[in-house]
Amino acid sequence: MRLIESLKKKKFILINIFLSLYISINLIGGERGLISYFDKKKIYEELMNKENMLINKLEDLENKILLIKNNDIDYIDMLYRDKFRYGTKDEIIIRLK
């Protein structure tokens, strides 16, 4: 009996405790909480790095295509020597990659 009466008197405090617990748990670990935010932020940064890498590769390929279209003799000679392992007898070929 005393327990019920004391709970009736402290009903407002208990409701506040449960509400604050509910809000704090959802704020930290919920679907839209802090942990989820940091996970999504990490995934976003990885995707941005990957996008920048792909943009750089695309620019490099566009530059190489432009060199081939303009018949740049030095670049074509470099491709020819690299792909077919061509060289004269007196040349020493050093591959750096």
Range 50-68 average pLDDT: 95
pLDDT of 11-54, one tens digit each?
A: 888 889 999 998 888 888 878 888 889 999 999 999 999 999 99
Q: What is the pTM assigned to this prediction?
A: 0.59
- Identify the pLDDT of residue 56: 98
DSSP assignment of 60-82: HHHHHHHHHHTT-HHHHHHHHHH
- Identify the pLDDT of residue 57: 97
| Band of pLDDT at residue 5, cut at 50, 70 and 90 | confident
**Cα–Cα dist 4/12, whole Å:** 14
Domain coordinates in residue numbering, the chain: 46-97
**Cα–Cα dist 5/96, whole Å:** 85
